[in-house]
Amino acid sequence: MSCSLVWRQIWTLVTLVTLVTYGAKGCFLRNCPLGGKRTIPTGVRPCQSCGPNNNGQCVGPNICCGDFGCYIGTRETAICEKENESVQPCERRGQSCGTRGQGVCAANGICCDDDACSLNSKCRFNNDAGEGLINLLSQLLQNEDLEKK
């Protein structure tokens, strides 16, 4: 065997191993680092609906959140596993939260990322309008009582 043939075989082997290693690197599209599979030029779509009456959204592969709070690892989250099968990334609704901004405010007072949820004061939904209406009604009822006396 000539020296150039040996080098060609070594070069082919190194190239093949590199390609296989790079292609086998696993991550789901939603949680891949930028520059990886997420840079595939596809449109962004809303994340899958889930939960009671489909009023929530999938936040992770086993997390479903909405006005009702969050379900984690329950039958309501089974549909969320399908997000990882899509080649098109989804966009979660909500303000970004978490120590590095990797999460989303998924329910009142709750910040979730792909793997877990935690309480977060940044995720408190503004409820001032409802409280203001109750205070106004209370004042009106008190004034009405004063007028009757």
pLDDT digits (tens, 9 = 90+) for 72-83: 999 999 999 888
CATH of the domain at 80: 2.60.9.10
Residue 3 is assigned to a structural domain of this protein: no
Task: Tell me the residue range of the domain where 112 lies.
Answer: 45-123
Q: Judge whether residue 114 has pLDDT over 70.
A: yes
- Whether 102 maps to a domain, the answer reads yes
Name the pLDDT band for 109 (thresholds 50, 70, 90): very high
Closest CA to 111 of 126, 100, 125, 96: 96
Instruction: Let me know if 48 is exposed, middle or buried by CB neighbors in 10 A (0-12, 13-18, 19+).
Output: middle
Could you report how far apart the first and last alpha carbons of the chain are, in Å? 114
Count of structural domains, the chain: 1
The pLDDT of residue 79 is 93
pLDDT at 22 over 70: no
Could you read off the pLDDT of 129-146 as tens digits, one per residue? 555 555 566 666 665 544
Task: State mean pLDDT over 101-115.
Answer: 91
Q: How many CA atoms lie within 13 A of 33 on its CB side?
A: 3
Q: What is the pLDDT of residues 26-68, one digit of tens each?
A: 454 555 655 555 455 557 788 999 999 999 999 989 999 999 9
